[in-house]
Structure 1
Amino acid sequence: MAERKDVLTAVGPRLRELRRRRGLTLAEIAERTEISESTLSRLESGGRRPTLELLLPLAEIYAVPLDELVGAPRTGDPRVHLHPVRHNGMIFVPLSRRPGGLQAHKLIIPTRPAGLEPELKTHEGFEWVYVLAGRLRLLLGDQSLVLAPGEVAEFDTHVPHWLGAEGDQPVELLVLFGRQGERAHLRARTT
């Protein structure tokens, strides 16, 4: 029973994340679904329980299966079905499915056009990056670092930062990101 409650509680943040990723407002979603803005807001904040009547039009608008929208556990098939997303020229492959908490992504960053200056950003959270292939240029505050395959960096995202491909090849990364500042903790046992 507690598991079912956890699944229902996670629907609101998942809906908010889908809407924000698509750059839509509550008013735009309300217009497309004929669900009031206040109902959508309460649904996203957890103030209203999700029902099929509310979720079906939202799944249609966001073009996701209902199972994915509610985060229903998969049964019988252990494979992970990846859904890459293109954003700002980069390819994000979500590897985790739960909203909130630590998120895992594979990230592919193409080479940068000549003359395009890096734009450092800040946001809430903490990031851990592991270079899988290529070379990563990491600008972090006043530091400029180049990481090769197998190297790792972790940093507070309140510090101005930028990630890009170094050289003439794209870079592939494994990225762990926590919005509230969760950090990756690695533990090794000695034998």
Structure 2
Amino acid sequence: MDRETGEVLDAVGPRLRALRRHRGITLAGLAAATGVSESTLSRLESGQRRATLELLLPLARTYGVPLDELVGAPRTGDPRIHLTPIRRFGMTFVPLSRRPGGVQAFKMIIPARAEPLEPTPQTHDGFEWLYVLNGRLRLVLGDRDLELSPGEAAEFATSSPHWLGSADGGAVELLILFDPQGMRAHVHAGPHPPSRSGKQW
């Protein structure tokens, strides 16, 4: 039994006792309503007896609550993602996906700096797609030095030397989709107008 399951089961008894008292029901009254003996209910509430489906179903019916709410079990299939920022290379990465493998989504925040950083391009396996939310992004990609404004996007193989930074020293926020397998993101745009730096990307 894993630790999380053990903690949930250990908390069932106190939850059941608190619920019964909150409803103003005696052990004798609960036993009569559920068909479960008073002594069994007492041992269940005190933690001397483990909860089983056979015991919990009549309790859930009597109290009129779902089983998972009755025992305080963690919800399965919860689509919400608990965001835990990761700070690396002086930047903040907020994971927006939690599925292992495949394409990973991040929000990246490049902090404002008084002095601009000197680009230090890196390479690694994979493919990257990015979209600028706020600020002005400087993207050094191979021998190209590009500037992206909010609403602009780019995609490239990360095997090419690349570097991301602020174009004007201000903070930059962007969304990043990274595929370690190198599969291109299925987002393709037509010809791009020249950027403000006068370069085509």
**What is the TM-score with the length of structure 1 in the denominator?**
0.56
Q: Could you list the runs of 5+ residues in structure 1 that have no partner in the other structure? A: 1-50, 54-72
Q: When the two structures are aligned, how many residues end up with a matched partner? A: 119
Matches within 5 A, 1:105-184: 105-112=106-113, 114=115, 116-184=117-185
- Superposed displacement of residue 128, structure 1: 0.2
Assess, with a 3 A threshold, how the Cα gap between structure 1 residues 143 and 112 changes in structure 2: closer, same or farther. farther
Q: Is the 8 A contact 1:111 1:164 kept in 2?
A: no
Q: Which residue in 2 is equivalent to 1:5? A: none
**What is the TM-score with the length of structure 2 in the denominator?**
0.54
Q: Is the 8 A contact 1:112 1:164 kept in 2?
A: no
Q: Is the 8 A contact 2:116 2:166 kept in 1?
A: no
Matches of 1:141 and 1:187 in 2, distance apart? 21
- Superposed displacement of residue 182, structure 1: 1.6
**Residue aligned with 2:181, SS:** coil
Structure label with greater radius of gyration: 2
CA RMSD of aligned residues (A): 2.4
**Residue aligned with 1:118, SS:** coil
| CA deviation vs aligned residue, 1:114-158 (integer Å, no higher than 9, x gap) | 264110000000000000000100000000000000000000000
Letter in 1 for 2:163: W
Matches of 1:105 and 1:171 in 2, distance apart? 14
Letter in 2 for 1:146: E
Instruction: Give the ranges of 4+ consecutive aligned residues of structure 1 lying more than 4 Å apart after TM superposition.
Output: none
| CA deviation vs aligned residue, 1:73-132 (integer Å, no higher than 9, x gap) | 953754332111111110100001022110000000113452641100000000000000
Assess, with a 3 A threshold, how the Cα gap between structure 1 residues 115 and 151 changes in structure 2: closer, same or farther. closer
Assess, with a 3 A threshold, how the Cα gap between structure 1 residues 115 and 145 changes in structure 2: closer, same or farther. closer
Assess, with a 3 A threshold, how the Cα gap between structure 1 residues 74 and 165 changes in structure 2: closer, same or farther. farther
Assess, with a 3 A threshold, how the Cα gap between structure 1 residues 108 and 115 changes in structure 2: closer, same or farther. closer
Q: Which residue in 1 is equivalent to 2:99? A: 98
Q: Is the 8 A contact 2:125 2:180 kept in 1?
A: yes
Matches of 1:175 and 1:168 in 2, distance apart? 20
* Percent of paired sites with the same residue: 64
Q: Could you list the runs of 5+ residues in structure 2 that have no partner in the other structure? A: 4-73, 190-201
| CA deviation vs aligned residue, 1:15-65 (integer Å, no higher than 9, x gap) | xxxxxxxxxxxxxxxxxxxxxxxxxxxxxxxxxxxx849xxxxxxxxxxxx
**Range with bigger deviation, 163-172 or 151-160:** 163-172
- Superposed displacement of residue 168, structure 1: 3.0
Assess, with a 3 A threshold, how the Cα gap between structure 1 residues 116 and 150 changes in structure 2: closer, same or farther. closer
In the alignment, structure 1 residue 89 sits paired with structure 2 residue 96: no
Matches of 2:149 and 2:75 in 1, distance apart? 36
Assess, with a 3 A threshold, how the Cα gap between structure 1 residues 113 and 74 changes in structure 2: closer, same or farther. farther
Assess, with a 3 A threshold, how the Cα gap between structure 1 residues 75 and 169 changes in structure 2: closer, same or farther. same
